[in-house]
Structure 1
Amino acid sequence: MAITKLAVVAMLVILLHVSMLCAVAQHHGVMTLNGFEKGQEGGVPSECDGKYHSNKEMIVALSTRWYGGGRRCLKMIRITSEQNGRAAQAKVVDKCDSSNGCKDSIVDASAALWKALGLNTDIGEVPVTWTDT
């Protein structure tokens, strides 16, 4: 049974498409603790929805380049602690503005997310990876 060049090309295109769907960009950064309630941290409502949020919610603010001009607003991301391997999902609700002192590659997270990852908020900064879900 002879395989034609067209059939080989078609199979390669299909395999490439499947591999692209399976590949998920993994970002490496530092998770910091942030307060999202009125009167905490930046003192202004979140960039995505103009609201304050409870620190009991699984939420984050991403540094400017990851925030992507709002394209990740109100979307879920999966965050994994590089210290203990635990992972959790959180909603992006705000931007950590890199032009106003926020370091690049920051995941500014609520206390609830720190707790879900089994991390001590007193540490202040921990290495994490994250992906879009």
Structure 2
Amino acid sequence: MAQAKIAVVIVILALLQVSCATARKKHEPDGGSGGTSAVMTVNGFEKGEDGGGAAECDGKFHSDDDLVVALSSGWYAGGKRCHNKIRITSKDSGETVEATVVDECDSNRGCKNNIVDSSPAVWKKLGLDTKVGEVPVTWSDS
């Protein structure tokens, strides 16, 4: 008898957990994908472009055709995200792309705290015009 009661309690708890997870997902602004809201800006990672020096993660310059980004200092986390891929979703187009973190957008030197500074290739892959300069996105670790 006690085992039957325990089994019923376990089933009820499992159903409650699924129900709560479903409710949370419906109420999250990004549909539950876990994305962090940010502003995506365009940056040149090639030598002599507006990105400045070589990328912090590897000391190299990167082609504008590479899917690469620099993250605001807090998200860059002292280099902990170096060489990791992040998933970026345009709030305007709904398109998604994966890009590699290669640099920091230094928040102590004028970069805002909510920036995903990306190569022209990222913009192209998302179907966005780099002349716009800034667009709303969400991003998450891949």
TM exceeds 0.5? Answer: yes
Q: CA deviation at 1:67?
A: 0.5
The sequence identity of aligned pairs, in percent, is: 52
Larger radius of gyration: 2
The partner residue of 1:39 within 34, 42, 48 is 48
User: Residue deviations 1:39-78, cap 9 Å, x none?
Assistant: 1124211010111100100000000011111111000000
CA distance change for structure 1 residues 65 and 3 in 2, over 3 Å: closer, same or farther? same
Instruction: Provide structure 2 residue ranges, at least 5 long, that are not aligned to the other structure.
Output: 22-31
The one-letter code sitting in structure 1 at the alignment partner of 2:57 is: C
Residues 1:105 and 2:114 aligned together? yes
Q: Could you tell me the TM-score, scaled by structure 2's length?
A: 0.79
Q: Could you tell me the TM-score, scaled by structure 1's length?
A: 0.84
Off by >6 Å, runs of 4+ in structure 1 = none
Residues 1:126 and 2:135 aligned together? yes
Q: CA deviation at 1:4?
A: 3.0
The one-letter code sitting in structure 2 at the alignment partner of 1:91 is: T
1:72 matched to which residue of 2?
A: 81
- Note if contact 1:24-1:132 (Cα within 8 Å) is conserved in structure 2: no
Q: How many residues are aligned here?
A: 124
Higher relative contact order (CA 8 A, sep 6+): 1
